[in-house]
Amino acid sequence: MSTLKLALVQLAVGAQKAANLARARSKVLEAAKAGANIVVLPECFNSPYGTQYFGQYAEEIDSAKPSTSIQALSEMARDSKVYLVGGSIPELERGTGDLFNTCTVWSPEGEMVAKHRKMHLFDIDIPGKIVFKESEVLKPGHTLTEFSTPWGKFGVAICYDMRFPEVAMVAARKGCVGMIYPGAFNQTTGPLHWELLLRARAADNQIFAAACSPALDKEATYHAWGHSTIVDPYARVVGTTAEAESIVYGTLDLDLVDEVRKSVPVSSQRRFDIYPDVAA
Ligand SMILES: O=C(O)CCC(=O)C(=O)O
């Protein structure tokens, strides 16, 4: 199968978890009805984004004993028959009580096929603009994540992880055809870097790259950038939007990965005799 339809649900997220889950469900079903094969939700889709919220909204992730959001994600994937990259939720680890920012990925049968804990925590301080310190509340994950589909393997990472080129490079060198990033950039770094980073990850590695944000809520404490975007292996933007709630669609022709790699063969021209191979 060489083409697939990808949908990014730029969800309007509010303070009510049950309402967020219901809204996500209706948007995932809408995307599936429009023919999507893989549907993506944004970072922190069940909770407002902010360190003050993570503890209150956190859930354990155990598919044998599913909590509210985990049950909802499994049902969304199963009922819509899509691969679902379930954005992220604040995760509470049983035993330690540690909190993580975690993405789960679901098969069309409603089985959890991958779980990614954000590896690089969003700790920044841009004077006069934005201070954010995820590490005050969260712990980082320690593993790279990918999942298989009938169209090929995709790497998954979360938001600030996008800034670290090694993540996408290792995924591409392990055979992934795309990177998917649930994210929530802000009104300062969004216009500066969101599209640039996505296009860079795609150009460097000759893969698809997509990032899915929540919609902008001007009443919220964190102002998301929105602009959920899909980029192809030539680093062209093939789908994007502004800040309001919407669904961004892109038809991905997987043959393009080989075409780009044949046309501009940087993937086979690497000089690992000069610098070390980072492939795992
Ligand atoms: O890297 C950035 O500028 C924003 C990152 C972010 O918002 C996040 O990791 O949640």
The three-state (H, E, C) secondary structure of 241-275, written as one string: CCCCCEEEEEEEECHHHHHHHHHCHHHHCCCCCCC
How much distance in Å is there from the Cα of 244 to the middle of ligand 1?
Answer: 19
Ordered structural domains, the chain, with CATH: 3-269 (3.60.110.10)
Cβ proximity of 182 and 41 under 8 Å: yes
185 vs 20: CA distance, rounded Å: 19
How much distance in Å is there from the Cα of 142 to the middle of ligand 1?
Answer: 18
Report which ligand 1 atom has the smallest distance to the Cα of 158.
Answer: 9
Q: Which residues contact 215 (CB under 8 A, 6 or more apart)?
A: 10, 11, 12, 13, 224, 226, 243, 244, 245, 246
Structure tokens at 262: 């044949």
Instruction: Tell me what the mean pLDDT of segment 44-65 comes to.
Output: 95
271 vs 273: CA distance, rounded Å: 5
Q: Tell which one of 134, 189, 195, 221 to mutate to probe ligand 1, the residue whose CB is within 8 A of the most ligand atoms.
A: 189
CB of 159 sitting under 6 A from ligand 1: yes
CB of 45 sitting under 6 A from ligand 1: no
**pLDDT band at 257, cuts 50/70/90?**
very high
How much distance in Å is there from the Cα of 52 to the middle of ligand 1?
Answer: 16
pLDDT at 273: 86
Instruction: Tell me what the mean pLDDT of segment 136-142 comes to.
Output: 98
CB of 208 sitting under 6 A from ligand 1: no
For ligand 1, atom 7: residue with the closest CA:
185
pLDDT at 278: 64
**pLDDT tens column, 163-218:** 999 999 999 999 999 999 999 999 999 999 999 999 999 999 999 999 999 999 99
CB of 160 sitting under 6 A from ligand 1: yes
Cα dihedral 113→29→56→181 (10° resolution): 50
pLDDT at 1: 67
How much distance in Å is there from the Cα of 173 to the middle of ligand 1?
Answer: 25
Report which ligand 1 atom has the smallest distance to the Cα of 121.
Answer: 9
Q: Is 152 helix (H, G, I), strand (E, B) or coil?
A: strand
The three-state (H, E, C) secondary structure of 94-151, written as one string: CCCCCEEEEEEEECCCCCEEEEEECCCCCEEEECCCEEEEHHHCCCCCCCCEEEEECC
Q: Which amino acid is at 122?
A: F
Structure tokens at 11: 């969800």
CB of 51 sitting under 6 A from ligand 1: no
Q: How far apart are the first and last CA of the chain?
A: 27
> Smallest Cα–Cα separation from 205: which of 236, 252, 166?
166
How much distance in Å is there from the Cα of 177 to the middle of ligand 1?
Answer: 24
Q: Which residues contact 127 (CB under 8 A, 6 or more apart)?
A: none
For ligand 1, atom 4: residue with the closest CA:
185
**Residue 275 neighbours by CB distance under 10 Å:** 8
Longest dimension (CA), the chain: 54
Q: Which residues contact 10 (CB under 8 A, 6 or more apart)?
A: 42, 212, 213, 214, 215, 226, 228, 241, 244, 245, 246, 247, 248
Q: 280 pLDDT exceeds 60?
A: no
Q: 238 pLDDT exceeds 90?
A: yes
Structure tokens at 58: 């956190």
- Read off the pTM: 0.97
Report which ligand 1 atom has the smallest distance to the Cα of 118.
Answer: 9
Q: Tell which one of 167, 185, 196 to mutate to probe ligand 1, the residue whose CB is within 8 A of the most ligand atoms.
A: 185
